[in-house]
Structures are given as C-alpha cells and as structure tokens.
Amino acid sequence: MKVALTPWRFLERTERLFPDKTAIVCGESRISFEAYGRRVRQLSRALGRMGAGSGDRVAYLGMNCHRLLELYFAVLPGGVILTPMNVRLHPDEMAFILNDLEAKVLFVDDMFANLAASLVPKVPSLERVVLASSSVPSEEGWLAYETILAAEKPDPIGDLDVDEDQTAEIFYTSGTTGRPKGVMLTHRNLYLHALQNMIALGLSDATVQIVGTVPLFHVNAWGTPQYAVAAGSTQVVVPRFDPESFLSAVERERATFGMMVPAMLGDLTNFEGAERFDTSSLERIMIGGAPPPYSLLRAASKKFGCEIQVGYGLTETCPVISVATLKSHRLAAMDDEERYRRMSMTGLPLIGVEIKVIGDDGAEVAWDGKSMGEIVVRGDVVTKGYWKRPEETAEAFRGGYFHTGDVATVDSEGYLQIVDRKKDIIISGGENISSVEVEDALYSHPDVRECAVIGIPDERFGERPFAFVVRKAEGGASQEDLIRHVRERIAKFKAPAGIRFVEGLPRTGTGKVQKSELRKEFWEGRLRQVN
C-alpha cells in the first residue's frame, strides 16, 4: 500500500490525537491543534474559492505569525504552492519574485499593506490580495483573512489528490549574485525532512519550541512547522529575536527548544540579567546559518545548562542535512574540550542524506581534517530543482549530486567542517587558507567580540588574509597583539596581513556576515574576486 508522503498527514494525525493541546502560541492567541486543523481546512477551502488550485502559487508577505503556520498546511490538500517572502528584500526584488512565480494570491500583514499596494500594479498575475486585518480598504477589492476563513466549512477534507512529488513550497535563495532563484520543495521532501529531524533532534510531543527567532520565512526556520506538527509539539511564535524576549518566552512557556544563528547565541550568552529568568526547561538550542566559534558554544552550553546543537543545511535541502551529534561509542574517550570542539563542527549527515566532499577531480577528498573540497549531497530532502530554471538545475545537479558551493574538510570520524564558501577560500602562495580557521584564532583572544576574515589581493602571494575586528572595548589589543596571537595558534602564513578595527560587521538579515561587502574595496576594478 502506498500512501502519498505529504505533511498534511501530520496535521490530521496530531489533531486527532492531541485536539485540546496548544499547537501555537502567537501574541495573545493560543491555538489548539483542533483549532489549528479547523482554521487550516477553512483556509484551504478559501484558497480553492479564490481560484488557487493545483500547481498555482500563493505568496506570503509578513512577519512571524500563526497565519504563516496556517498557510504552510492549507496549501497542501489542493496541491497549491506557497512562497513565504523575505520582508527585508528591496521592493523591486519582491516584484521580481512575485512575477517569477506568477503568483495568483498574496497574503499580507497589515504593516506591509502600503508596500503590497505598490507591488500589485507591477504583478499582473495577482488576482487576490488577502490582508491580515479585518478592516481592509474596500476600494482595493482586497479580502480580509478572518472573513474568508469564516465563510468556509471546517469539515474534514477527505481523500487528497496529491502526488508526493508535487511542489508544496518555493523558497527563493538570498541571491548575493544575480537574480534570486526559486527552490522547489515537494510534499515528499518536507515529509521525510520532518522524520529525519525528529530523529536527529529527539523531538516529541514534550517539545515546546520557540519559533521566529530566525524569521519563519528564512531557510533556518523551514521544515519547522512540519516537524513540530508531526511531533505534536507546541510552537511559541516570537516576533523577532532579542535576548530578553527569548528568555521571557522560555520562562513563560517552559520552552525546551530554540533555534538561532551564532550571532544571536552570542548576544544571548553575553546578555547580563539572564539569571533573572527561569530557563531550566531549556534542553536544546539548535544553531544554523554558520559554524559557531567553539568557545561560544561552550560558554552558552555552560551558562544555560542545555545542549547546543549545530546543524547545517541549505535552501535546497529543506534545510537540515547534518547535525554535529557525538558518537556514543566515542564518548568515554573524549574530554570536555574534545566534546565541545566536535559539537561546534558542521557535523554528520542525517539518515536519508548522503554527503560527499569532492575535489576538483570529482573524487572524495581524504578524511584527514585538512583536505578541502566541495560538499555535494544526495538524498530525500534535496530539491527537485529551481523553478523555471532547467539549465541552472542541471548545472547544480551535475554528476547526480546537488552541489552546495560550500567548502569543507572531513575528519577521520566523518565529521564535516565547513571552511568557507567555495569563492571565499583564500589561496596564498599555493596554500589553501580557511578564513574560518583564522577567525577562530582571533575569537580565542579575550578582546575580540566579532571578526571576519577575507582574502585580499597580494602581489607576492596572490592573496593574503585580512581581518575586520570588532573589539569588546576601545583601546584593547592592538593590531600587532592580535596578529601575534594568531601566529601563536595557527600556521604563520595564515595570520592576517592586516587588521582593521570596526564598530560592526555588515550582516544579512539573519546574521551572516556579508563578506562580499567587505571584499569590495579591495577587489574593485579586478576581473576576478580571487587570485
């Protein structure tokens, strides 16, 4: 017997078994699984009534909210496709995406109503705009979210006519170069991603998860609504991350699980006054987006008495494909230092995921913790391709594996360690230098708060590492102090050729340092960005 793998089944089962349990806490709203299921079915029918049928695209422009969590499931029974939009994009980029999608319906939070009004004339495919508020401007012909729900029956949907290989979501990659590309994730991708993550993260109905620290439209948060519903766990939506609101949500809801990028974990760990909050329920914080410094992981873990688990993934993989778990049969032989070092790595491939790190010749690099290569991946959670981009899809999947563009080493135990983006590797005098390695060395200095290392052009060596450093206080370690500090820790040729002290680093909305911004002035006017 073959039943289509679709996350829809998670909601049906959980609503049936946990009807009165809280599924979502969002602002003043507490939504039970019964109410969640009911609202999702009403929304699903409303989509059909608006003409959004199998294969049609709908987009969501808004902040973290239960409405997005409802949409994730409401599109499923009818085979509709959902695209949550990154609210930090430029309006022109938003218009590009909506046109690339040929979106039929746009769901909009009140705070983006004006923005949406300016987008509508530029997107001819749009037939309907649904505003969160119940007071919609009637002259626009827009609909109100709660009104369209109230008009529909909440009865069971019955048998679905959905193929598991149908696209359920399209996410756009952040697009540092060129136009953003839509990544198609299928019902099957999302179903299997949920099971794999439940296993890797030990999720259950006892899990209470803070969601929205990483925006729900962002790669690190995808997959969450599916596995949270599968597990029957409670999702506590926060509007955005700040240490105080995170800690107070943990205390109030007895949360067990949260998800962050390293910069947030840093803020949380440095936050004075954390001890005012009862965080004893906290069992695990998952870190994505970038490999965290080992020292931060240890500090956070000790401070909050919880496990900090590092995961790695991409838009194209649902996202999580590796988690830095420890091997039980190695624990006895590991000291504290070794444990934290391993736990701050990129990790081991999850079940259902095959990862290889390959050199330019296409062969796997040695598992020596030094040889670098590109991470390629094959598995149940990998996208079927880019929306309307057959050439880019074929290019990304050459050789039967998805090419991540991330450069990593593999140690003798099979642990991946991302050392750079492919284009970010510094090649100096024929030697590969990982900028992360240099950054780790800088981070180990007590005066360094944040840093980023890039390659700059050099007449003699081709490239040299150069560091941008944010100090904890003015007048701390000097440039010379820090270079000496690094040279004492890693190969001398890896030490920065220069250091610039800055007040902050340019970051994307989700905390990643924009190295392309840092590189600009050094590489301007050159044909290549590496030497």
Binding residues for its own copies, rule: CB under 8 A, are: 1-3, 5, 9-10, 12-13, 16-18, 21, 165, 188, 192, 195-196, 198-199, 202, 204-206, 230, 327-329, 348-349, 351-354, 378-380, 382-384, 397, 402, 413-414
Q: How near is the Cβ of 64 to its own copies at its closest, in Å?
A: 23
Q: For the packed helices 294-304 and 435-443, what is the interaxial angle rounded to 10 degrees?
A: 50
Is 251 or 458 the residue whose CB approaches its own copies more closely? Answer: 251
Is 199 or 358 the residue whose CB approaches its own copies more closely? Answer: 199
Is 67 or 342 the residue whose CB approaches its own copies more closely? Answer: 342
Q: How many CA atoms lie within 13 A of 277 on its CB side?
A: 23
Q: How near is the Cβ of 176 to its own copies at its closest, in Å?
A: 24
In sign, the C-alpha dihedral spanning 516, 519, 524, 526 is: negative
In single-letter form, the type of residue at position 95 comes to A
Query: What tokens appear for 408 in the block?
Result: 């990593």
Is 51 or 399 the residue whose CB approaches its own copies more closely? Answer: 399
Q: How near is the Cβ of 226 to its own copies at its closest, in Å?
A: 11
Is 235 or 383 the residue whose CB approaches its own copies more closely? Answer: 383
- CB count, 10 Å around CB of 55? 11
Q: How near is the Cβ of 374 to its own copies at its closest, in Å?
A: 17
Query: What tokens appear for 516 in the block?
Result: 């392309």
How many whole angstroms separate alpha carbon 386 and alpha carbon 171?
9
- CB count, 10 Å around CB of 243? 19
DSSP state string for 14-47: HHHH-TTSEEEEETTEEEEHHHHHHHHHHHHHHH
Residue 340: φ, ψ to 5°: -70, -35
Is 5 or 131 the residue whose CB approaches its own copies more closely? Answer: 5
SS3 325: coil
Length of the chain: 531
Asked if the bond preceding 319 is cis, omega within 30° of 0, the reply is: yes
In sign, the C-alpha dihedral spanning 96, 101, 105, 110 is: negative
Q: With residue 269 as reference, give the H or E element that holds it.
A: helix 262-270
Q: In Å, how far from its chain's centre is CA 385?
A: 18
Q: How near is the Cβ of 380 to its own copies at its closest, in Å?
A: 6
Is 8 or 523 the residue whose CB approaches its own copies more closely? Answer: 8
Q: How near is the Cβ of 346 to its own copies at its closest, in Å?
A: 14
SS3 192: helix
How many whole angstroms separate alpha carbon 452 and alpha carbon 436?
8
Q: For the packed helices 66-74 and 224-231, what is the interaxial angle rounded to 10 degrees?
A: 80
Q: How near is the Cβ of 379 to its own copies at its closest, in Å?
A: 6
SS3 183: strand
Is 186 or 344 the residue whose CB approaches its own copies more closely? Answer: 186
Is 7 or 293 the residue whose CB approaches its own copies more closely? Answer: 7
How many whole angstroms separate alpha carbon 178 and alpha carbon 176?
7
Q: How near is the Cβ of 501 to its own copies at its closest, in Å?
A: 43
Is 9 or 422 the residue whose CB approaches its own copies more closely? Answer: 9
Is 165 or 368 the residue whose CB approaches its own copies more closely? Answer: 165
Query: Residue-wise over 260-277: b if at least 16 C-beta within 10 A, else e?
Result: bbbbbbbebbebeebeeb
Q: How near is the Cβ of 512 to its own copies at its closest, in Å?
A: 25
Q: How near is the Cβ of 403 to its own copies at its closest, in Å?
A: 12
Contact assessment for residue 118 and residue 72, using Cβ atoms and an 8 Å cutoff: no
Q: How near is the Cβ of 258 to its own copies at its closest, in Å?
A: 18
